[in-house]
Structure 1
Amino acid sequence: MKLVYVFDAYCGWSYGFVPTLAELVRRRPGIEVEVVSGGLFTGSRRVPIRDFGYVEGANAKISELTGVTFGPGYARLIADGSFVMDSAAAARGVAALRQVAPARIVELAAALQHAFYVDGLSLSDPATYRTVAAATGLDPDIAVAAFTTPAAAVGAQDDFARAARLGVHSFPTLLAVDGDRPSTLAVGHATADQIEWRLDALTTAS
């Protein structure tokens, strides 16, 4: 059995799920986690952030439930309102980091969300991947090169297709997959204790 974590790097609830997933991986170090990007802000949803009038209220709720904080760089983006979140570019970044250090993708996906939600860095900008790489001990040149390759764009589209095949339309969603059978462990928000209870119940049932 492995876990499949379907998230979007530009999703605030996915950002709020970072501590839960980190704690779960800490408790179960041998478990395999596949990280898949969803396409939350693509097509007609690629609009200035000011068009999402609910953002500040949603962020307050996320902080209240999960304890994550939103940093000053991100606050400046919200105040300006012109920033456009592009999930295809963010997914390309996830695919690039996964290519560079596949065993560390849970940690690196969290670092990518930190870059946006704390520092206010664009996930469409190659320079962001240089910053994330330097902060996590990767080679910045290799990370930037991976982000700009066609393979990263293909990886992003493959992720979107994988999320669709799994029937995931809300982010984040954490699944346990045993063979071809996915079981939902969490959607939106859950504690590590709740997920472990569900995992144990699945293991007992099988």
Structure 2
Amino acid sequence: MKLIYVFDAYCGWSHGFSPTIREVISLHPEVDVEVVSGGLFTGSRRVPIREFGYVQGANAKIAELTGAEFGEAYDRLIADGSFVMDSQAAARGLAALRQAAPARAAELATALQHAFYVDGLSLSDPAIYRKVAERTALDADDVAAALEAPETRAAAEADFARAVELGVNAFPTLLAAAGRDITVLARGQATTDDVERRLAAFAATRSS
């Protein structure tokens, strides 16, 4: 069995889910985790944040329900409404980090979200990936080189295609997969207890 975590680095609900995904993984260190960037803000949705009038209201709801932190630096970044969330750039950055430490992909995904939502750093800025690499004890030069490689751009596009293949159109979505059997453990907000209960039920069906 493995877990498949489909998220978007620019998705506030994914940010709110960060503590849950970290806790679930810590409870199941033996389980492989595939992390997939979903591509929420691509194509025609790659526009100034002012076009999404619901963002600040949604963030308040996310903070209320999950305890997620939205930092002052983030508030300053988006204050004038001109910031553009580019999920392709963020997915490419995750792919570069993931290449350096595949087994830590979920940790790196949550680190990226902290960089944006708490530290107010643009995930379109290549320098951010050096910062995240240094914070997570990865080789920053290796990550910077990977970021520019054509294979990394291809990996980001492959993630988007993987999300479509899995039928995921809401983020975050956490799946459990065993062979051809796949079940949804979480979509949007969920607690660790919610996920654990669903995971146990899925495991029980596999053993019965």
Offset, 1:181: 2.1
Over the aligned positions, Cα root-mean-square deviation in angstroms equals 0.8
Look up the match of 2:55. Answer: 55
| Contact map agreement 1:166 1:182 (CA 8 A) in 2 | no
- Kindly indicate whether residue 141 of structure 2 is the aligned counterpart of residue 141 of structure 1: yes
Counterparts of 2:48 and 2:94 in 1: how far apart (Å)?
A: 22
**Runs (5+) with no aligned partner, structure 2:** none
Superposition misfits of 4+ residues, deviation over 4 angstroms? none
Give the SS at the match of 1:80: coil
Give the SS at the match of 1:5: strand
Offset, 1:78: 2.0
Offset, 1:34: 0.4
Offset, 1:41: 0.2
Counterparts of 1:21 and 1:127 in 2: how far apart (Å)?
A: 26
1:37 aligned partner, one-letter code: S
Counterparts of 1:187 and 1:156 in 2: how far apart (Å)?
A: 22
| Contact map agreement 1:126 1:148 (CA 8 A) in 2 | no
The residue correspondences of 1:121-132 to structure 2 (distance < 5 A) are 121-132=121-132
Look up the match of 2:156. Answer: 156
Look up the match of 2:95. Answer: 95
**Runs (5+) with no aligned partner, structure 1:** none
| Contact map agreement 1:71 1:120 (CA 8 A) in 2 | yes
| Contact map agreement 1:35 1:106 (CA 8 A) in 2 | yes
Q: Report the more deviating stretch, 135-144 or 40-49.
A: 135-144
Counterparts of 1:24 and 1:161 in 2: how far apart (Å)?
A: 25
Look up the match of 1:84. Answer: 84
1:76-100 deviation line (CA, Å, top 9, x unaligned): 1221211100001111111111111
Give the alignment's TM-score, normalised by structure 1: 0.98
1:153-178 deviation line (CA, Å, top 9, x unaligned): 00001001100000000000000111
- Kindly indicate whether residue 15 of structure 2 is the aligned counterpart of residue 3 of structure 1: no
Offset, 1:188: 0.3
Look up the match of 1:14. Answer: 14
Equivalences, count: 206
Counterparts of 1:122 and 1:179 in 2: how far apart (Å)?
A: 38
1:133-163 deviation line (CA, Å, top 9, x unaligned): 1111111111111111111100001001100
Offset, 1:31: 1.4
Look up the match of 1:24. Answer: 24
- Kindly indicate whether residue 167 of structure 2 is the aligned counterpart of residue 173 of structure 1: no
1:1-51 deviation line (CA, Å, top 9, x unaligned): 100000000000000000000111111111111000001000100000111
Give the SS at the match of 2:79: helix
Counterparts of 1:132 and 1:195 in 2: how far apart (Å)?
A: 28
Give the SS at the match of 2:123: coil
Counterparts of 2:78 and 2:89 in 1: how far apart (Å)?
A: 19
Counterparts of 1:41 and 1:30 in 2: how far apart (Å)?
A: 33
Give the alignment's TM-score, normalised by structure 2: 0.97
Offset, 1:180: 2.0
Q: Report the more deviating stretch, 136-145 or 166-175.
A: 136-145
